[in-house]
């Protein structure tokens, strides 16, 4: 929503909104002259209408409930109301666009495509789910030909997008609060793919390989039968060196500063997308060495009592597994993107949604076993009601069943995590915060050592 607001404002529209949380993103919007109400009240709609010559267009996201006071006031005033996806569809459909979909890696792949195009002087418009380091923003109203959009599948609305090029990173069951089974997700993604003029997909994903027939494939495991391949020849905790193939012909080599095989897959998908849009490979190469991961993707936050704190958005078992594999590279290979090589891996995981926790309880338990020490925060509900047997206590039991020697601690509330960290972590540990909820707020609590909090950090022994 904030990216859309930013782009519309930069294109000359008058934009007003509301958000009950005050964030850096909100500050950026305010800096662009956008009026933001700090509460959501029916009076906001009345205030907006009073100062306008015509009734404003109201845009809502899936997160807004039907009884939201602003939404009810807009309905009473008979204002035009559309969903966020309708607004994004209008932007996508009015200019050549690349829309990136998939269960995992959408934000990273979108960020890489945007960054490579920017370094190639294409100045794309971007609507991304995370902060793009090149622009220090999740939205950019570019002057170039292309628009890059992250196409979220969580509510099925991506079928509205008619992009010049669709990109699908991978596909597996998720968002069980919306999709009842994997087949529903496959059908939704197939509709998205058919709505795009061209489609690029990941051949290494077994579900995509079985159920899709895209215009082009990419892979990091084979050259034969794919249009774009990145075959790793060196892999450590600092970078990945890979040979790049196009139509089975070696066209060059890249040194990718984003370690991990999942990032290599995201990168060759992005390279393929740029090539399909006519960007010369030598122009693409200019941006590779300067790539940075988007906000909250293995995001080093700083030091706390001799520990290195990293924040990551991983909230699905596959994402958790990939992120922990990346962390293990940094511990085991003596090569790291962090300021110092860590000695152990302490994971602080906040499960996201009761429905997801219930669906993937055993998968989470297996993925989290790569930690040396594990701290579990309570489930972040994301508006859901609790489900019996889908909580951190049950997850802990499942983890103990699979890894009886793994130390596991459970916090009854998020604010207990700093106390547990002092007890369970050591100097030179890599402390990895993972989850899509509010676990990222822990860094501020640790970093600022706020004396108003009920816990007091102690000096490490």
CATH number, domain of 242, equals 3.40.1190.10
Do 293 and 108 meet the contact criterion of CB atoms below 8 Å apart?
yes
Do residues 202 and 237 both lie within one domain? yes
- CA–CA separation, 329 and 234 (whole Å): 12
The reply to whether 453 falls in a domain is no
Please, which pLDDT band fits residue 335 given cuts at 50, 70 and 90? confident
66, exposed or middle or buried, with CB in 10 Å at 0-12, 13-18, 19+?
Answer: exposed
The reply to whether 461 falls in a domain is no
Do residues 64 and 208 both lie within one domain? no
Do residues 319 and 348 both lie within one domain? yes
Question: What pLDDT score does 4 carry?
Answer: 94
E strand intervals along 305-406: 307-312, 344-349, 373-376
Question: What pLDDT score does 51 carry?
Answer: 67
Question: Is the pLDDT assigned to residue 445 strictly greater than 60?
Answer: yes
Look up residue 374 and give its two tokens.
Answer: 């594990």
Do residues 112 and 199 both lie within one domain? yes
CA max distance for the chain:
67
- CA–CA separation, 392 and 386 (whole Å): 12
| Geometric angle at alpha carbon 87, from 355 and 171, rounded to 5° | 40
Boundary residue ending a domain (79, 107, 133): 79
Do residues 304 and 431 both lie within one domain? yes
Nearest to 151 by CA among 66, 84, 208, 219: 84
The reply to whether 276 falls in a domain is yes
Do residues 218 and 259 both lie within one domain? yes
Do 99 and 165 meet the contact criterion of CB atoms below 8 Å apart?
yes
Do residues 59 and 91 both lie within one domain? no
pLDDT tens per residue across span 297-323: 888 999 999 999 999 989 999 999 999
Do residues 277 and 407 both lie within one domain? no
The reply to whether 50 falls in a domain is yes
Do residues 250 and 272 both lie within one domain? yes
Tokens 């000695």 belong to residue: 343
Do 139 and 6 meet the contact criterion of CB atoms below 8 Å apart?
yes
CATH number, domain of 71, equals 3.40.50.720
pLDDT tens per residue across span 100-157: 999 899 999 999 999 999 999 999 999 998 889 999 889 999 999 999 999 988 788 8
If one counts every other C-beta atom within 10 angstroms of the C-beta of residue 88, the result is 27
Question: What pLDDT score does 460 carry?
Answer: 33
| Geometric angle at alpha carbon 226, from 223 and 232, rounded to 5° | 40
What share of the chain has pLDDT > 90, as a percent?
72
Residue 92, SS3 per DSSP: helix
pLDDT tens per residue across span 210-260: 999 999 999 999 999 999 999 999 988 889 999 999 999 999 999 999 989
What's the domain count of the chain?
3
Look up residue 455 and give its two tokens.
Answer: 């816990």
Boundary residue ending a domain (262, 288, 314): 288
Task: List the domain range (segments joined by +) for residue 37.
Answer: 2-79
Do residues 98 and 228 both lie within one domain? yes
């Amino acid at each position: 929503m904030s990216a859309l607001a930013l782009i519309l404002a930069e294109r000359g529209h008058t934009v007003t909104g509301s958000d009950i949380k005050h964030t850096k993103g909100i500050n950026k919007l305010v800096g662009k002259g956008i009026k933001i109400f700090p509460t959501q009240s029916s009076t906001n709609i009345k205030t907006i209408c009073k100062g306008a010559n015509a009734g404003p267009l109201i845009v809502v996201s899936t997160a807004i409930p039907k009884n939201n006071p602003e939404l009810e006031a807009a309905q009473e005033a008979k204002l035009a109301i559309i969903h966020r996806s309708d607004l994004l569809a209008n932007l996508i459909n009015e200019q050549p666009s690349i829309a990136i979909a998939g269960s995992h890696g959408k934000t990273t792949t979108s960020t890489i495509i945007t960054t490579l195009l920017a370094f190639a002087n294409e100045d794309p418009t971007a609507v991304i789910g995370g902060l793009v380091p090149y622009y220090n923003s999740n939205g950019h109203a570019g002057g170039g030909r292309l628009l890059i959009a992250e196409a979220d599948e969580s509510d099925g609305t991506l079928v509205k997008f008619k992009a010049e090029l669709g990109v699908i990173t991978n596909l597996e069951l998720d968002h069980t609060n919306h999709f009842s089974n994997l087949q529903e997700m496959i059908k939704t993604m197939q509709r998205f793919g058919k709505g795009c003029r061209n489609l690029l997909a990941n051949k290494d994903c077994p579900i995509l390989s079985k159920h899709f027939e895209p215009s082009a494939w990419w892979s990091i495991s084979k050259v034969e039968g794919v249009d774009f391949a990145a075959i790793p020849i060196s892999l450590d905790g600092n970078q990945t060196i890979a040979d790049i193939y196009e139509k089975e012909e070696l066209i060059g080599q890249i040194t990718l500063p984003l370690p991990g095989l999942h990032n290599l897959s995201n990168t060759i998908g992005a390279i393929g997308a740029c090539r399909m849009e006519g960007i010369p490979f030598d122009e693409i190469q200019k941006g590779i060495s300067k790539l940075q991961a988007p906000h909250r993707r293995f995001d080093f936050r700083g030091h706390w009592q001799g520990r290195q704190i990293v924040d990551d958005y991983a909230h699905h078992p596959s994402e958790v597994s990939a992120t922990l594999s990346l962390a293990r590279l940094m511990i085991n290979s003596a090569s790291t993107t962090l300021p110092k090589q860590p000695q152990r891996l302490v994971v602080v995981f906040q499960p996201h949604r009761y429905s997801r926790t219930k669906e993937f309880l055993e998968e989470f338990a297996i993925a989290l076993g790569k930690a040396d020490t594990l701290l579990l925060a309570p489930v972040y509900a994301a508006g859901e009601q609790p489900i019996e047997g889908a909580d951190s206590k049950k997850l802990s039991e499942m983890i103990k069943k699979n890894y009886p020697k793994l130390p596991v601690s459970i916090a009854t509330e998020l604010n207990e995590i700093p106390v547990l960290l002092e007890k369970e972590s050591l100097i030179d540990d890599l402390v990895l915060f993972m989850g899509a909820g509010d676990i990222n707020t822990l860094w501020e609590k640790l970093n600022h050592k706020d004396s108003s909090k009920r816990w007091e950090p102690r000096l490490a022994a």
